[in-house]
Amino acid sequence: MNELNNLKPINEWFKKLESRPIIISGPSSAESEDQVLNTARQLKDINQVKVFRTEIWKPKTQLNGFEDRGDNALNWLNQVKQETNLLTMVEVASPKHVEMCLRHNVDILWIGARTTSNPFSIQELASALQGMNVPVMVKNPLNPDINLWIGALELIHKAGISRLAAIHCGFYPFEPTSLRNIPKWEIPIELKSRFHNLPMICDPSHIAGDKEHIQQISQKALDLNMDGLMIESHFKPEESLSESEQLIPSELNTILNRLVCRLSIKNSKDYNPLGQYRNQIDSIDSQLIELLAQRMHVVSEIGEYKSEQNLNILQLKRWEKVREQGAELGKSLGLSEKFLTQLLRMIHKEAILIQNDVMNNKK
C-alpha cells in the first residue's frame, strides 16, 4: 500500500521554487552572525539559489569539537530573510527544535541522517509536527536501509505533512573511500520508482566530502531527474569552525552554470526503465571497483609482511580456501561456480603480481 499519497509537488511549495532545479545552499553550521549574513548576501546574487540552509544545533562528535550557537542563531536567519528574501531551512532533531524553528518563521525543516536512523526520534518529531503546515525534507539513514527511510517519510506524512521531500546524502562507508559517503544511487532510484510523486533532493556536499567532486555528483543527480541540490557554502571556508571543505559562493556559481539540466519524459507510455537499470549497474560497478582497490591495498600490506618474514608469495592452501569459500557463497547467491572461479583466479593473479612487486622493491 502506498502511504505517501497526496504529496504536493515541490515547485508548488513556494512561489520562489517554481524553477528547476531547486538550489539550496548555505554554511554547514551557523557559527556567527557575520558568517551567516555575509554568506547569505553573496548567495543572494546567485539567481539559482532560492533557499538558505544551515545547522543551528550541531551535536559535538568530539569533546573539543565545534560548540553550536544554539537558539540565538535563529535570529540571524530572520535577518537573512529580511535582507535577502531567501527562504530559510534548518535541521531539526527534537520537538524543541521544531517549536523554536516555527516560532522564528523558518520556512523549511530537514531531518538529518542520524535522526532518520532512529525510529524513536522520528516518532517524537512526527508528534511535534502533527497538524503543522510546514515543509519537511528527510535525509536517508546512515546505513543503506530503504525501508527505514520509507518508514521515516511515512511517519512524517502521517502527521499531516503534505509538503514532503527526500534528501539523498549517501551512506556511511565501513571502509574509507574516495568519497565521504557511498552514493549507492540505486537506493534513491528505487525510492523514486516506488513513490513517483515524492520530490528528491541530492546533497552532493555530504556525498563528496571533498569539494572537487561536487560538480560530478551534482550532474549525476540531475541526470537522474532529481528535483534539486543542497550544497554547502561559506564566504570564508578556511575560517570555518566546523567544516573547511565548503564552496565559496563564487565557486558554487561556477558549478551551477556548468550543470546541464536535461528534460524528463512526461508521458509514462514513453518511459523506458533501461536508463534506471543502467544507473543501478553504474552505481554497483563503482562500489565493486572501490572494494577491489581496498582489497589490493591489503594485499600490498600482506606483501610487506611476507617480505619482512621471508615467506613465500604463493600460499596454495590459502588460495584453495579463498576459492572454495567464494564458490560456496556465490552458489548460495545464484552465481555460477565457473564464473566465480574465473573471477577469483583473476583477482588472485593480480594479488600475486602486487606482492611480487612489493618484494622486488624491498631488495
- What proportion of the chain, given as a percentage, has pLDDT over 70? 92
Residue 337 lies in a domain: yes
Q: Does one domain contain both 101 and 182?
A: yes
Please give the distance of CA 286 from its chain centroid, rounded to a whole number: 16
**Confidence (pLDDT) at 188:** 94
Residue 200 three-state SS? strand
Q: Tell me which residue range forms the domain holding 298.
A: 274-362
Cα separations in angstroms, 38 against 118, 243, 339, 347: 35, 17, 58, 53
**Which residues, in sequence order, are CB contacts of 49 under 8 Å at separation 6+?**
23, 24, 25, 43, 86, 252
Instruction: Give the mean model confidence (pLDDT) for residues 179-184.
Output: 88
Residue at which a domain ends, from 232, 262, 292: 262
Which CATH number is 298's domain given? 1.20.59.10
What is the Cα–Cα distance from 26 to 234, expressed in whole angstroms? Answer: 6
CA atoms within 13 A on the CB side of 6: 8
Q: Are residues 155 and 77 in the same domain?
A: yes
Q: Helical H runs in 107-167? A: 113-116, 119-129, 146-158
Rg (CA), the chain: 24
Q: Are residues 258 and 278 in the same domain?
A: no
**Predicted local confidence at residue 268, as pLDDT:** 46
Side-chain half-sphere exposure of 295, counting CA atoms within 13 A: 12
Q: How confident is the model at residue 264 (pLDDT cuts 50, 70, 90)?
A: low
Is 320 or 45 the better-scoring residue by pLDDT?
Answer: 45
206 phi and psi angles, rounded to 5 deg: -80, -25
Asked if residue 105 is part of any domain, the answer here is: yes
CATH number of the structural domain spanning residue 49: 3.20.20.70
Is 98 found in the same domain as 236?
yes
Asked if residue 69 and residue 212 are part of one domain, the reply reads yes
Residues 279 and 248 in one domain: no
Cell triple for 220: 549525476
Q: How confident is the model at residue 26 (pLDDT cuts 50, 70, 90)?
A: very high
> Distance between CA atoms of 318 and 315, rounded to whole angstroms?
6
Q: Residue 2 falls within a domain, yes or no?
A: no
Residue 138 lies in a domain: yes
Q: Are 23 and 50 in contact (CB under 8 A)?
A: yes
pLDDT at 58 over 60: yes
DSSP 8-state assignment for residue 7: P
Round the average pLDDT of the chain to a whole number and report it. Answer: 88
- Helix (H) / strand (E) element for 143: namely none
Whether 213 is covered by a domain: the verdict is yes
Structural domain includes residue 1: no
Name the domain boundary from 262, 282, 313.
262
Number of domains in the chain: 2
Tell me: the pLDDT tens digits for 127-166? 999 999 999 999 999 999 999 999 999 999 999 999 999 9
Q: Which of 259, 231, 253, 261 is nearest to 167 (CA)?
A: 231
Same structural domain for residues 163 and 185?
Answer: yes
Q: Is the pLDDT of residue 209 over 70?
A: yes
Residue 73 pLDDT greater than 80, yes or no: yes
Q: Which three cell numbers stand for residue 188?
A: 534513491
Range of lowest pLDDT (23-27, 50-54, 77-81, 173-177): 173-177
Contact (Cβ atoms closer than 8 angstroms) between residue 143 and residue 169: no
Structural domain ending residue among the three candidates 228, 262, 296: 262
Look at residues 311, 291, 293 and name the one whose alpha carbon lies nearest to residue 303: 311
Residue 1: what pLDDT?
A: 43
Residue 328 belongs to some domain of the structure: yes
> Does residue 112 share a domain with residue 229?
yes
Q: Are 189 and 244 in contact (CB under 8 A)?
A: no
Q: Are residues 149 and 176 in the same domain?
A: yes
Residue keyed to cell 550543470: 259
Question: What Å distances lie between residue 316 and 324, 330, 352, CA to CA?
Answer: 12, 21, 12
Q: Which residues of 148-170 are buried (b: 16+ CB within 10 A; e: fewer)?
A: bbbbbbbbbbebebebbbbbbbb
Give the DSSP H/E element, type plus range, for residue 179.
none
Do 65 and 90 lie in a common domain? yes
Confidence of residue 263 (pLDDT cuts 50, 70, 90): low
- Same domain for 246 and 193: yes
User: Any idea what the Cα angle at residue 347 is, between residues 343 and 348, rounded to 5°?
Assistant: 115
Instruction: Flag whether 193 is in a domain.
Output: yes
* Same domain, yes or no: 24 and 139: yes
Q: Which pLDDT score is estimated for 110?
A: 98
Question: Which one-letter DSSP state was computed for residue 232?
Answer: E
